[in-house]
DNA sequence: ATTGAGACCTGTCGGC
DNA sequence: TGCCGACAGGTCTCAA
């Protein structure tokens, strides 16, 4: 149902669509249709999940986190091609089986009457079940940078994280320890908004002591704005994403910045496409 | 420690 | 039409 093309805004949209059917419901039945995605499913995945209820469904970076009645956390990541499909039973406890397609790897039958299928052709996604201790000390989660839409993410925080970094701004923004949840698309979009070159050294947005320069303020504001708009847009089912990017996937187009007149270019940076305007992004 | 390159896997799209 | 290579929005590991 929901096309999740997963950077932060899409994962957040997924969270919101699942929340009404998962929160305060329990897992009546869990089907696991293969042994692994990017990693193997945890041992006893099905048995440990069935019967438990979901206390809350939250998001951190691009991870969905279901807090369970046992104190464990169900961690879900959509990778590049993961999505959830929700089917509703006409009446609760009706024996209707979910029509699983070839890439439907996991199916949750919830007591809310929703059957939630996880589909992931490329299988770059992850599902894991973490104890409270594992969750607290998680090697990835515990090192994530601030949520970009939170107050904790400001110019000072971004400058501090970029201080002394020899790598490019593009690479720094993709680093989830610097700021959590940006991906290839929104990095291009944010750098364009901030009129900063993706190749610029990350350290240049901070003074030697780590204080934010004007560029850090622009970049922080641009990131928030780009993500805010994308979140609002993904909730509006009518709009189609690709028409809304200003530079992403628009090689050869006129730069959308008023008065710039430049042309959007594509360049491979860190093995991935970066879209930018060489005229106004410096 | 930091950084960049390659790997993971399948589907799709454009060119011949 | 069919085949083939290039490419895809995310991590993770490895080696310099």
The answer to whether the C-beta of A279 is closer than 7 A to strand C is no
Estimate in Å the CA A177 to C1' C15 gap, whole number: 22
Q: How confident is the model at residue A162, as a pLDDT?
A: 98
Model's pTM, two decimal places?
0.95
Reduced to 3 states (helix: H, G, I; strand: E, B; else coil), residue A221 is: helix
Please tell me whether residue A233 adopts helix, strand or coil conformation. Answer: helix
Note the pLDDT of residue A235: 74
Query: Which residues 37-76 of chain A have a CB under 7 Å from nucleic chain B?
Result: 38
Does the C-beta of A148 come within 7 A of strand C? no
Task: Give the helix ranges, DSSP H, for chain A.
Answer: 8-22, 45-49, 132-136, 155-162, 169-174, 184-193, 214-235
Instruction: Give residue A241's pLDDT.
Output: 47
- Is the C-beta atom of A167 closer than 7 angstroms to strand C? no
Instruction: Mark whether A62 is an active-site residue.
Output: yes
pLDDT of amino acid A154:
98
Q: What span, in angstroms and rounded, lies between the C-alpha atoms of A126 and A6?
A: 13
Q: Give the tokens for residue A55.
A: 């206390």
Instruction: Say which nucleotide is closest to residue A188, CA to C1' distance.
Output: C9
3-state percent breakdown (helix, strand, coil) of chain A, nearest 5: 30, 25, 45
In chain A (282 residues long), the average pLDDT of successive 10-residue segments reads: 70 96 98 96 97 98 98 97 92 70 95 97 97 96 97 98 97 97 96 97 97 98 96 70 80 96 94 95 97
The CA distance from A15 to A159, in Å, is 30
Q: Look at residues A81, A106, A83 and name the one whose alpha carbon lies nearest to residue A13.
A: A83
Asked whether the beta carbons of A193 and A278 are under 8 A apart, the reply is no
Q: How many CB atoms neighbour CB A162 within 10 A?
A: 26
Six-digit token string for A179: 């700021």
Confidence (pLDDT) at A223: 98
Alpha-carbon separation of residue A236 from A232, A233, A239 (angstroms): 7, 5, 6
Kindly report the number of other CB atoms within 10 A of residue A92's CB atom: 12
Distances in Å between the Cα of A247 and the Cα atoms of A46, A50, A195, A240 are: 43, 45, 12, 15
Distance A68 CA to B15 C1' (A): 51
């Amino acid at each position: 149902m929901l096309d999740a093309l997963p950077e932060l805004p899409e994962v957040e949209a997924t969270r919101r669509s699942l929340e009404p059917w998962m929160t305060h419901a329990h897992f009546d039945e869990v089907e696991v249709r293969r042994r692994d995605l990017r990693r193997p499913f945890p041992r006893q995945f099905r048995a440990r999940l069935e019967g438990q209820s979901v206390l809350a469904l939250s998001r951190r970076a691009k991870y969905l986190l279901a807090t369970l009645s046992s104190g464990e956390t169900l961690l879900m990541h959509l990778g590049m091609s993961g999505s959830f499909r929700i089917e509703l039973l006409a009446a609760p406890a009706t024996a209707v089986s979910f029509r699983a397609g070839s890439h439907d790897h996991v199916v949750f039958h919830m007591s809310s009457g929703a059957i939630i299928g996880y589909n992931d052709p490329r299988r770059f996604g992850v599902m894991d079940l973490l104890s409270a201790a594992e969750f607290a000390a998680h090697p990835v989660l515990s090192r994530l940078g601030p949520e970009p839409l939170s107050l904790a993410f400001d110019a000072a925080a971004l400058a501090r994280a970029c201080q002394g970094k020899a790598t490019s701004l593009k690479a720094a923004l993709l680093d989830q320890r610097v700021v959590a949840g940006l991906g290839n698309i929104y990095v291009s979009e944010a750098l364009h908004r901030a009129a900063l070159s993706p190749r610029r050294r990350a350290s240049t947005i901070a003074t030697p002591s780590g204080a934010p320069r004007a560029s850090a303020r622009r970049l922080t504001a641009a990131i928030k704005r780009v993500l805010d708009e994308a979140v609002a847009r993904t909730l509006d089912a009518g709009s189609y994403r690709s028409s809304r990017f200003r530079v992403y996937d628009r090689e050869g187009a006129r730069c959308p910045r008023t008065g710039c007149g430049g042309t959007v270019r594509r360049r491979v940076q860190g093995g991935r496409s970066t879209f930018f305007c060489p005229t106004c992004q410096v």
